[in-house]
Structure 1
């Protein structure tokens, strides 16, 4: 290997220590050539997990890491619905696909890994309640607890009502949101009429 090649591999190794998941264009942008990436894959240092997306070989794949990979594959998307509910610890369900919301005017790829389920939201519903979490060196946008609950109640054709009620109950029991904050988010997201009887039943003293 040439000195330049060694320098690029050293640079690649340093980058992977801080960002276990990287896209090919990010590597090229810092001067790492395609041949260096290929050698790293051949040597087992790097794993190609989908087209243009790589991960450090010794990194354990877990649910949160899959969220990071999804965020890279759909850069304008936000982790939503059941995946956001699971991220916040409000359901025992582990969705087979990562739910990602995009605006109706945006386009999203259909990657093979991780499996992603795209749900389209109108622009006004895309701008509310976005949190940013750092996962595996990646900035991952995730809808907040209250926004996620509102979205799940609003989209009853996509998610069973029992999942929505379970999430609402868990959010209240774990004190991850106040009834007032949940109601406010539901009003802003067009879900208050549907959610109201469930929230009132769960917060009544009777």
Structure 2
């Protein structure tokens, strides 16, 4: 392959922290032939139609979360995935849970990594969205307090034991913010349930 084209392709990935879309290549005058060839040779990996990751950027334990943020730009890492990211559970979720607004169009999902879409109401969706930087990429994730509120709301689905473990671990963290937690719980209408568990654990 033409060395100039290879350099151009690498520059695209470097500018975009390891990811590129088909239109990024086409805008630089790189046609579909080169994209297919690089994919065949294993230099680039197709995440889903029109979205690629450069093979040299593979290896970080949070790679999949970054990929998900590219696949679902308006999605927010939530529930057990957020709990695991903050190391508030020993449970290792087998799929990534991502929240989107209930009225939004369902995103097109790749075969891998496994993603579970959780539809939140407008109030549920908008509170507590934070951004973390992973390998130079910004990823939307609910903050710790919102994550605790969510696992309490969905305790029957995720399991009472996991919910209690998450809350207990959160309460032991120096960065906990009980005032913020109770404020979120009030806005999300789960304050009574939260206080019941806090009484037991505090």
Aligned residue in 2 for 1:16: 13
Aligned residue in 1 for 2:126: 127
| Structure 1 residue 30 displacement after superposition | 4.6
> 1:21, 1:137 within 8 Å by CA — same for their partners in 2?
no
What count of residue pairs does the alignment treat as equivalent?
A: 200
> 2:48, 2:109 within 8 Å by CA — same for their partners in 1?
no
SS of match in other structure, 2:63 = helix
2:139 matches 1:162 = no
Name the stretch that deviates more: 21-30 or 41-50: 21-30
Name the stretch that deviates more: 50-59 or 152-161: 50-59
Aligned residue in 2 for 1:38: 36
Aligned residue in 1 for 2:173: 174
SS of match in other structure, 2:170 = helix
Name the stretch that deviates more: 32-41 or 145-154: 32-41
| Structure 1 residue 61 displacement after superposition | 4.0
CA deviation map 1:72-107 (0-9, x unaligned) = 111221000000111111112121111000111112
SS of match in other structure, 2:133 = strand
SS of match in other structure, 1:54 = strand
SS of match in other structure, 2:82 = helix
* Structure 2: tracts of 5 or more residues without a match: none
TM-score (structure 2 length as normaliser): 0.88
| Structure 1 residue 132 displacement after superposition | 0.9
Structure 1 residue ranges, 4+ long, deviating more than 6 angstroms after superposition = none
What is the CA RMSD across the aligned residues, in angstroms?
Answer: 2.0
Aligned residue in 1 for 2:4: 7
| Structure 1 residue 179 displacement after superposition | 2.1
Tell me, in whole angstroms, the C-alpha distance in 2 between the residues paired with 1:135 and 1:25.
24
SS of match in other structure, 1:182 = helix
2:150 matches 1:151 = yes
| Structure 1 residue 155 displacement after superposition | 1.8
Distance 1:29 1:190, change over 3 A: farther
